[in-house]
A = this chain, B = another copy of it.
């Protein structure tokens, strides 16, 4: 199987699973499901769940065990976008090519839809952890990896720094730390949680962690470059929004040309990490190249 067809196959699998997990219900609180689905099923690259499935294939794991966790990762990512887009935060009107959640459902509903997606991610992981008593420990451990990555010491901590540092000049080191938390932590958790579910050995886990850290960094550098060079139509959100908000990015700190070099070096390093897995790493290699080449 080549990278591109596999990506398409897994995108479908994830989208179908997300659709099935969060269904519209005809209950008094039904509007919450509508607003959760609006953002969750709006497309997107599905980077985190795809990564989890890729690690599962690489390690010959059981896809049925990983899918709920892959979907939980996407729910957590989506909730963070909904809250990030709120007027009190980044105040963005477009996301994934459509109006942001609060623009359609109002701020109150958007706050609650985000809360509900975060909460549901845990409901989903916990109920799967209990589905077969023999694997509860392993699955609870995978859920904890994801919980730690998405909390105050990870993603939320990164969002806090992002807000506090708006309009301030920050050093390269602080920028890297912020992104390690804000986007890197959950990307790494996608890899590590799947590796735990698929019984990775110590060395395998070590290699995968290194790869994931570089992929997360490359993803962010590319994001910052796209914010300058990208087209709003392709990206599904407005370009130039970092500059408008006076945010420090890899481009403002390094300049566009140095940021490009840093991106290339990071991708090369990620590619060389996974040589360890030989041909089985075809997808992780393809994904690293895709992250660098993507236009949205």
Contact = CB atoms under 8 A, between A and B. Distances in A.
Interface of A: 27-29, 31-33, 36, 79, 83, 86, 88-89, 106-109, 111-112, 114-116, 118-120, 122-123, 126-127, 129-130, 133, 136-137, 140-141, 143-144, 147-148, 150-153, 156-161, 163-164, 174, 177-178, 181
Contacts of A150: 119
Contacts of A147: 119, 122-123, 126
A129 B130 CA distance: 12
Contacts of A152: 29, 32-33, 36, 116, 119-120
A36 B152 CA distance: 10
A162 to B, nearest CB: 10
A198 to B, nearest CB: 18
A143 B126 contact: yes
Given A118-B119, A150-B119, A151-B119, A174 B129 contact: no
Contacts of A174: 28
Contacts of A106: 88
B123 A156 contact: no
Q: Is the interface of A mostly helix, strand, loop or mixed?
A: helix
B129 A32 contact: no
Nearest 10 pairs of A and B residues by beta carbon: A88-B107, A29-B157, A126-B144, A119-B151, A116-B152, A123-B147, A32-B160, A29-B160, A116-B156, A88-B108
A28 B130 contact: no
Nearest to A164: B31
21 contacts: A28-B157, A28-B161, A29-B160, A29-B161, A31-B160, A83-B111, A83-B115, A88-B106, A88-B107, A88-B108, A108-B163, A111-B111, A112-B163, A115-B115, A115-B118, A118-B118, A119-B151, A119-B156, A126-B140, A126-B143, A129-B140
A178 B88 contact: no
A130 to B, nearest CB: 6
Among the interface residues A33, A160, A174, which one has the most CB atoms of the partner chain B within 10 A?
A160
Contacts of A130: 137, 140-141, 144
Contacts of A112: 83, 156, 159-160, 163
A183 to B, nearest CB: 14
Contacts of A156: 29, 32, 112, 115-116, 119
Contact of A177 (B28, B107, B151): B28
Nearest to A159: B112
Most buried by B among A114, A133, A137: A137
A157 B86 CA distance: 20
